[in-house]
Amino acid sequence: MNKNGSLCCVGLGITLGAHLTPAALHKIKNADVVYVAASSGIVEKWVETLNSNVKSLQPFYNEVSSRKETYKQMSEVMIKEMRLGKKVVGAFYGHPSVFALAPRVAVAQALKEGYKAYIEPGISAEACLYADLLLDPGRTGCQQFETTQFMRYQRKVDTASLLILWQVGLAGDYDSKAFSTTPAKLQALLKKLVIFYPPEHEIIIYEAKVLPSDRVRKEKIMLSELSKAELSMISTLIVPPNKRLIDIKDKAMLNMD
């Protein structure tokens, strides 16, 4: 078997052209083949200007197969090219390790087979979120969950910290097949959130800009309005704290009482 092949999965960042690191740009330009999974066709067209052999991974998505199966197919096609001795690059929206199973599976398999393989990080939606909303996760602490996972499992919520729910636009997608959510599923999410927060608590629906001409979405609504909100696949839900942090000294004093 030819071990001259290699695999590098890079992050394209969130905003077209603005977030690509010099390291990722170098890898894309010097690859034998680039497989791209971007958030829009415009982004894919832009990647095509960087390398003459770019192939889209988007056709693997369909409404029949689960996304887990789709990601497996994406991984396999990159691995197959690598085994032929090619320098393969997978270019993924945002950060290749954040809500992107295919690059992690592919790189892990390549390393297992003895090939040179690694992930080159990119700017993620999380990094954009903190900048666009002027939030510091270190101020109160931060809890983050994938929305459907949060709905499905029993999780502890610290309401004195920031809560971020990713992929809220796919809330309740237990089979990993949907490309949107429904008011009923959002109502189920709301029902769980009001256990911890009052219905009038202010929340934020966030969407980073993909194209330089886009506007950042940072819509503030009451928690009770969640089931009526218009969401997309890139929507993120931010729930600010509704309790203050209690100093352990204060807590000790309270226990003394």
Helices 67-83 and 101-112: angle between axes, nearest 10 degrees: 40
Residue 206 among the catalytic residues:
no
Residue 67 among the catalytic residues:
yes
71, 115, 197, 206: which one is catalytic? 71
35, 61, 93, 152: which one is catalytic? 93
Residue 33 has a CB neighbour count (10 Å cut-off) of 19
- In the chain the first and final C-alpha atoms are separated, in Å, by 73
Nearest Cα residue to 172 out of 191, 156, 197, 159: 191
Please state, in angstroms and rounded to a whole number, the distance separating the CA atoms of residues 54 and 146. Answer: 31
Which residues make Cβ contacts (< 8 Å) with residue 50, sequence separation at least 6?
25, 28, 29, 34
35, 67, 197, 206: which one is catalytic? 67
Residue 231 backbone class (left: φ over 0; alpha: ψ -120 to 50; beta: rest) = beta
Residue 152 among the catalytic residues:
no
Which positions are annotated as active-site residues? 67, 71, 93
